[in-house]
Structure 1
């Protein structure tokens, strides 16, 4: 699944997620015909025993060696976890952990683990660039803010798949094929990506699941000396946190799951519902854009449907003739890169003016540079042409967590009407994007399932009504599943809610983290 957390205060550092070519495509080499209703009945992983197995005792008892790292006040250490929990003697995986110690005053409340989403987002980078300095002062005063890069991500033995030039080729591949030749080219791009990942880390790819990452968090909890895990997870981080609660309900402390996923849905349904979420966000952007004097997509009074058709017409022109960007390597703005740039701005309404200006430059002046900047930020492509491992880790985790959305191009073609209905603007591209993991070298180990976490302390689930990446209905669904959930609703735009400007949301979550007082179930903020 592909979600992202983008705090307003540090856009570049927290651009922690997806691409139009990867999105919510959970991957494996097998087809899935699972329906939403049958998937919801799948058995969840059983809670683990409270006692620590003897084979895991050395991991739970490890003493980290902290060292100063990054800005003053930050410490880093490497932790060990078994690569394969079923066979702990087969070897270790090294996990990068960072923390910002509680600053006081007030009684220390222990550690607060944070995860920004993805899968594939670096929690360590998120801590150092945002959470360790941007979380509310009263929270930072009472908690050590701790981040763990999940296995396969960033500093924790990262999965690598393609070099910079190969990724440049991959990101500009046409994801709305018009004929068999273009379809074959898209399939070949997905195969090349998957083969690159498999060649780099064939053994690691079998052990980067969310289930294993959640078990890693319990090792970190114990090594930090905390009896219970306190956690704020955004976007995909909500799946990680909910999985932890399901495995270790008695060790679950204060959990905030912001921008929630629904673990009971199969990949195709997730992709389709996220597609509808981006359409909802685009319609909000369209209404805002036409109220501005410089909107290139329509005049005041233009309906969102026509704004969407105007954008689609622009995409069609790019498909035939990409625009120059002034890029030193000669990259041009293709339809796929432009779509990614537009989608990048859907996560945060504060990006709408930037998107409007970028579209104006491209549509009226023939300059694709600004849209390319948005696309590059989404892919975490640096100025030197290198990429972070975000895209690689994203696919690797998704491919293991759920069976593939589609087995091949014919299944995509049959699903196109449903995706176009969900989003006339993005539907076709997101349907084809959901094919990417059909060619993955490792079969999925997870299945859709409900998570109840019976016996866990109250868990706060947060949903934003016009969230593009994690539709509000997912938060409602997760809150219904978790036995102790309290649903907090933010009526607004953008992806996630905590720390994004709502005093109501922030004060409610702060009260829960600091006093253990959860909100009344169903509380709404605007």
Structure 2
């Protein structure tokens, strides 16, 4: 998302694994209000039984680009880790344009197939900046997938336990993530650009040449290397949100090696960064409206009057935080930026709506922001001691700036911001001026090397949720149309993505395709 209260962050995402973590965390803290009957998803990736043995895999240099054969033919050393899973470290080239430029490490975690193995299934939870390694532990994978696949998650280049992007220390990052900037003034725009430029300078100083090599195309090439290292002739893949971009990019680069791909919560590959920001603003506006409607139908909603009046009351909470940050029981106040994070993160899954009700009730009727702060910290992966559990913010910005930087001309950004606010009056002001994040990035966007149609690829299943805030449904329609072999499956419901959190219809469509190769009917609605 673009958060105009500070240097914006286009295409932000709370990954599938982190949504599960949010639900578990709020239940554990007793923050979910009485009356919420939805079950909290648990860890469903069953650790491998000691008696289970997977079919042997043989790495192959076949298909490797010239000079990169050793990367494709490497042997992975898997070790027990994380209480029953297996971990390994793969070596990838720093640059896929220069085999002599050096190497980086990619962290992998897998759970072995518990039954007759079909092959490996690579997974990505989203982001950009989400940990595929963590996702293997925390994601909701159905029994058919766990029986049939070695489920393999990897941290993409630049992310977390792989060779990672580094920018600020914890204290400076904390300040950066909470600062408010008024983008309606020239001084505010100048301050926002200066803040983003300082962040970019720190990323360059602390990361080095890797900062220019973390684009999605390079990560997709890493996936082809991993396919070969895992001993698979074709790549089977399950990607969510940003992970759909990664999967579609792979299919475009390697259509003949794209096996069974499922892309859930898709990003339309024909859109640029500014169009994505505008679409997300409307997506979050619609999701918030659905929340307000649901809230006002209950007995304990702090939002009164009509739905439009309730939307305005949410906006009033956000505006109050800009004028007078909400105090908390600790030594931190809730700025407008943090308040927005706190509201937005709950819109990824309707099971989190009761937590938003509590946060708004506290802000409106008590005048404090403890729940909003908790939610904002969850969004930013901030621990209670002020440290950060991941580098998702750093990786997010670095990957996005190399993929599509967006407009940086002030007048163009102003015009686009006005259009966004007109389309999304409550949430729109947080999605404009996305180009500021990348205006002074030290590396240019990567040149696209592939055809988005992925001509020649096997059927690619694209799943869209009708009121998805972060990846609006129309984007899934766009991706399915752009892919020559795209097959669109629709989940009618709320929240971000569908598999693992919706219904049996979606689960059956995904699992029957990945396990058996049974292609769902194009246009299937669940």
Q: TM-score range by the shorter chain?
A: 0.7 to 0.9
Which residue number corresponds to residue 94 of structure 2? 83
Whole-angstrom CA distance in 2 between matches of 1:96 and 1:313: 44
2:219 to 202, 213, 221: 213
Which residue number corresponds to residue 275 of structure 1? 281
Whole-angstrom CA distance in 2 between matches of 1:448 and 1:211: 8
Which residue number corresponds to residue 202 of structure 2? 196
The structural deviation recorded for 1:183 is 3.2
- 1:18-66, Cα deviation, whole Å (9 max, x unpaired): xxxxxxxxxxxxxxxxxxxxxxxxxxxxxxx983334111111100011
Which residue number corresponds to residue 399 of structure 2? 397
- Residues 147 and 6 (structure 1), Cα distance of their counterparts in 2 relative to 1, 3 Å cut: closer
Whole-angstrom CA distance in 1 between matches of 2:414 and 2:111: 49
For residue 91 of structure 2, give the secondary structure of its aligned residue in structure 1: strand
- Residues 318 and 449 (structure 1), Cα distance of their counterparts in 2 relative to 1, 3 Å cut: farther
Which residue number corresponds to residue 343 of structure 2? 342
Number of aligned residue pairs: give it.
480
On the 8 A contact 1:190/1:436 being kept in 2, the answer is yes
Which residue number corresponds to residue 10 of structure 1? 21
Whole-angstrom CA distance in 1 between matches of 2:175 and 2:289: 31
Which residue number corresponds to residue 118 of structure 1? 127
On the 8 A contact 1:266/1:448 being kept in 2, the answer is no
- 1:215-235, Cα deviation, whole Å (9 max, x unpaired): 101111111111111000000
Aligned pair 1:325/2:328, yes or no?
yes
On the 8 A contact 1:264/1:448 being kept in 2, the answer is no
For residue 55 of structure 1, give the secondary structure of its aligned residue in structure 2: coil
- 1:312-347, Cα deviation, whole Å (9 max, x unpaired): 2222222111111122xx210111110111011111
Whole-angstrom CA distance in 1 between matches of 2:245 and 2:417: 28
Whole-angstrom CA distance in 1 between matches of 2:204 and 2:20: 36
Whole-angstrom CA distance in 2 between matches of 1:315 and 1:364: 14
Which residue number corresponds to residue 313 of structure 2? 310
For residue 517 of structure 1, give the secondary structure of its aligned residue in structure 2: coil
Aligned pair 1:138/2:150, yes or no?
no
Whole-angstrom CA distance in 2 between matches of 1:320 and 1:389: 30
Instruction: List aligned pairs for 1:44-443, cutoff 5 A.
Output: 51-72=63-84, 74-104=85-115, 107-130=116-139, 134-299=140-305, 302-303=306-307, 305-327=308-330, 330-387=331-388, 388-402=390-404, 404-443=405-444
For residue 464 of structure 1, give the secondary structure of its aligned residue in structure 2: strand
Instruction: List aligned pairs for 1:441-480, cutoff 5 A.
Output: 441-446=442-447, 451-480=452-481
On the 8 A contact 2:20/2:138 being kept in 1, the answer is no
On the 8 A contact 1:308/1:424 being kept in 2, the answer is no
Whole-angstrom CA distance in 2 between matches of 1:159 and 1:469: 24
- Structure with the larger RCO, 1 or 2 (CA within 8 Å, 6+ apart): 1
Whole-angstrom CA distance in 1 between matches of 2:240 and 2:363: 33
Greater mean alpha carbon deviation, residues 2-11 or residues 507-516? 2-11
Whole-angstrom CA distance in 2 between matches of 1:478 and 1:14: 33
Whole-angstrom CA distance in 2 between matches of 1:284 and 1:12: 19
- Residues 521 and 429 (structure 1), Cα distance of their counterparts in 2 relative to 1, 3 Å cut: same
For residue 438 of structure 1, give the secondary structure of its aligned residue in structure 2: coil
Which residue number corresponds to residue 43 of structure 1? none
The structural deviation recorded for 1:14 is 11
On the 8 A contact 1:238/1:258 being kept in 2, the answer is yes
- 1:463-494, Cα deviation, whole Å (9 max, x unpaired): 01100001111111110111111100011100
In the TM superposition, structure 1's runs of 4+ consecutive aligned residues that sit over 4 Å from their partners are 12-15, 447-450
For residue 336 of structure 1, give the secondary structure of its aligned residue in structure 2: helix
Whole-angstrom CA distance in 2 between matches of 1:148 and 1:14: 24
On the 8 A contact 2:252/2:451 being kept in 1, the answer is no
Whole-angstrom CA distance in 1 between matches of 2:122 and 2:505: 23
Whole-angstrom CA distance in 1 between matches of 2:448 and 2:259: 26
On the 8 A contact 1:96/1:148 being kept in 2, the answer is yes
- Residues 446 and 343 (structure 1), Cα distance of their counterparts in 2 relative to 1, 3 Å cut: farther
On the 8 A contact 2:458/2:485 being kept in 1, the answer is yes
The structural deviation recorded for 1:3 is 2.7
On the 8 A contact 1:273/1:422 being kept in 2, the answer is no
Whole-angstrom CA distance in 2 between matches of 1:117 and 1:362: 31
For residue 254 of structure 1, give the secondary structure of its aligned residue in structure 2: strand
Whole-angstrom CA distance in 2 between matches of 1:277 and 1:286: 14
For residue 323 of structure 1, give the secondary structure of its aligned residue in structure 2: coil
The structural deviation recorded for 1:415 is 2.1
The structural deviation recorded for 1:84 is 1.0
